Amino acid sequence: MDTTTQSAVQGKRTAASQPFDPSYDPLKDATPGVGKDYAPTYWVATGGEPPEDDGPIEHDIEVDVAIIGAGFTGLTAAIFLAEQHGIKAHVLEANRTSWGCTTRNGGQAQCATGRLKRSQWISRYGLKVAHQLHQECIDAMENFKELIKDIDCEPQPGGHLYIAHRDKVMPTLEKEAKLLRDEFNYDAQILSATDVKRDWVDDKEAAGAMHEPEGIGIHAAKLAFGYHKKARALGAKIHPQSPVQGFETKNGVHYLKTPGGVVKAKAVGIATGGYTSQSLHPQLKNRLLPILSNSIVTRVLTDKEIEACNFQTKQVITDTRILRHYYRRLPDNRVQIGSRSAITGRDAPNKKYESMLISDMHRKFPALKDIQIDFSWWGWVDVSHDMMPRIFQPEAKETVYYALGYGGNGVMYSSQAGRRLAQWIAGKGKELDMPIFTSKLPHPNLFEKVESPVFAPFRRFGQRFLYRWYGLKDEKI
């Protein structure tokens, strides 16, 4: 072990300096805080002690590369920068390591980039680009499997079960599965309602399903802490309690103001996910719509309850609602389920959102009617205005890069985005040739046509309206 690696491994364990505060709202507040404790998630409660780190920034420093945000994206970017480009980055995190979505998700690693289906890629970009994007997802999945190989993150492999929540969805699902098989050579299979309920899980809503071959459930905190350790072992420095509160660029050099000192960096990678504030960088103002998702975990099910739900599969599951549910049986026989939450940070703690989710779970699994909920939390998902991520250098003259906008599908793709972000920072981004690497995150748009920042102030109003409309489409129309 060389001395750099040794000193990187010997660190300190920075404790929280403030309790968890759930009310942060990226559209209203300047930063997600300083040194806040974790959200009360199942992952944090069962993920073991957070790993050692390099302490908060305590004086002005000069670095080659600063990464903002120590979630899946920032940590994997640091891993790939060190491993593939010989660059030892400094990762600046506002709170504790992996404090954002990374320790709050459903742990479903799916073969996707962004929210759109393959058929939607074809309509938007044409067949050639759709094939490139599909290949990017397949490569990303391989990259992810390679990365988690030596991290004990309780993988639940085998694929993804996409359950039709109503009969009327089945024809569309059958069409998509055929397209996946015939056009993309991706072995998606259709299952009848009887197949699903008999052989997989007795979700009472299931009208059938599509099973796709790729999909892995992981323990979110164990994976994040594994990435963190890997990044430090490779020489990256990770600084919790170091929010970037000011970002100035002068003569091509970046000055990142943190409470303990200014970090002067030659290049900056932004990996702040759904926690990106409006003021972090001018290139990001109004480019993301942060959306809240919530999640609950039940107590451990008894054998009788597992049997009553016929919960045979431990693979990851989602349903076909636009406001989808994501759920699975965890390795310790609890059920985790999540879906949409409030619209604003201030409204998120309102118990009605948790109650909505509990009653959704009861609809699927009446046998779990009175089951105790042991964990309940929520977090901000980074949704881009065209539902596709971007890993890009938004201003050709400035060495600032971002990887953002996975739209609730970042558990797997963030590791590939980290790899792509590292390529950009190392000066190899121009080799990447797909719309997600060659254009900026778009501004809000009207009916997917006119794109403009003038729509930004109306986004939450639009979101409220869309939630009602999607609710009607999902349940009634």
Ligand X SMILES: Cc1cc2nc3c(=O)[nH]c(=O)nc-3n(C[C@H](O)[C@H](O)[C@H](O)COP(=O)(O)OP(=O)(O)OC[C@H]3O[C@@H](n4cnc5c(N)ncnc54)[C@H](O)[C@@H]3O)c2cc1C
Give the residue with the Cβ less far from ligand X, 272 or 393: 272
The answer to whether 385 and 289 have CB atoms below 8 angstroms apart is: yes
Please report how close the Cβ of residue 115 comes to ligand X at its closest, in angstroms: 11
Strands (E), 204-245: 209-212, 216-217, 237-239
Which of positions 307-326 make contact with ligand X (CB under 6 A)?
326
Distance separating alpha carbons of residues 151 and 209, to the nearest angstrom: 31
User: What φ, ψ does residue 89 adopt, rounded to 5°?
Assistant: -85, 160
Neighbours of 403 (CB within 10 A): 34
Give the residue with the Cβ less far from ligand X, 170 or 340: 340
Kindly tell me which residue out of 72, 125, 311, 402 binds ligand X, with binding defined by CB under 6 A: 72
Residue 67 interacts with ligand X (CB under 6 A)? Answer: no
Kindly tell me which residue out of 47, 74, 208, 290 binds ligand X, with binding defined by CB under 6 A: 74
Give the residue with the Cβ less far from ligand X, 326 or 365: 326
Residue 243 interacts with ligand X (CB under 6 A)? Answer: yes
Kindly tell me which residue out of 65, 78, 94, 161 binds ligand X, with binding defined by CB under 6 A: 94
Residue 181 carries which side chain, given as an amino acid letter?
R
Residue 208 interacts with ligand X (CB under 6 A)? Answer: no
Strands (E), 213-260: 216-217, 237-239, 246-250, 253-258
Give the residue with the Cβ less far from ligand X, 170 or 210: 210
Buried b (16+ CB within 10 A) or exposed e, 113-134: bbbbebeebbebbeeebbbebb
Kindly tell me which residue out of 125, 225, 353, 406 binds ligand X, with binding defined by CB under 6 A: 406
Which tokens hold the place of 314?
């431990």
- Give me the 270-289 binding string for ligand X, x by CB under 6 A, dash otherwise: -xxxxx----x---------
Residue 244 interacts with ligand X (CB under 6 A)? Answer: yes
Kindly tell me which residue out of 99, 365, 375, 392 binds ligand X, with binding defined by CB under 6 A: 99
Residue 226 interacts with ligand X (CB under 6 A)? Answer: no
Give the residue with the Cβ less far from ligand X, 227 or 367: 227
Give the residue with the Cβ less far from ligand X, 406 or 424: 406
Q: Which residue is listed with tokens 């799916």?
A: 110
Please report how close the Cβ of residue 310 comes to ligand X at its closest, in angstroms: 23
Per DSSP, the residues of 132-180 read: HHHHHHHHHHHHHHHHHTTS----B-S-EEEE-SSGGGHHHHHHHHHHH
DSSP state of 105: S
Cβ neighbourhood burial of 304 (10 Å; 0-12, 13-18, 19+): exposed
Kindly tell me which residue out of 69, 159, 226, 405 binds ligand X, with binding defined by CB under 6 A: 69
Kindly tell me which residue out of 379, 394, 405, 444 binds ligand X, with binding defined by CB under 6 A: 379
Give the residue with the Cβ less far from ligand X, 51 or 69: 69
Which tokens hold the place of 375?
């964990």
Q: Give the range of 152-160, 305-313, 342-350, 404-412 binding ligand X by CB under 6 A.
A: 404-412
Give the Å distances, CA to CA, from 157 to 26, 202, 306, 365.
34, 20, 20, 23
Which tokens hold the place of 50?
């957070």
Give the residue with the Cβ less far from ligand X, 50 or 69: 69
Residue 101 interacts with ligand X (CB under 6 A)? Answer: yes
The answer to whether 264 and 253 have CB atoms below 8 angstroms apart is: yes
Where do contacts with ligand X occur on this chain (CB under 6 A)?
Answer: 31-32, 68-74, 92-95, 99-102, 104-108, 110, 243-244, 271-275, 280, 293-295, 326, 338, 378-379, 381, 406, 408-412, 414
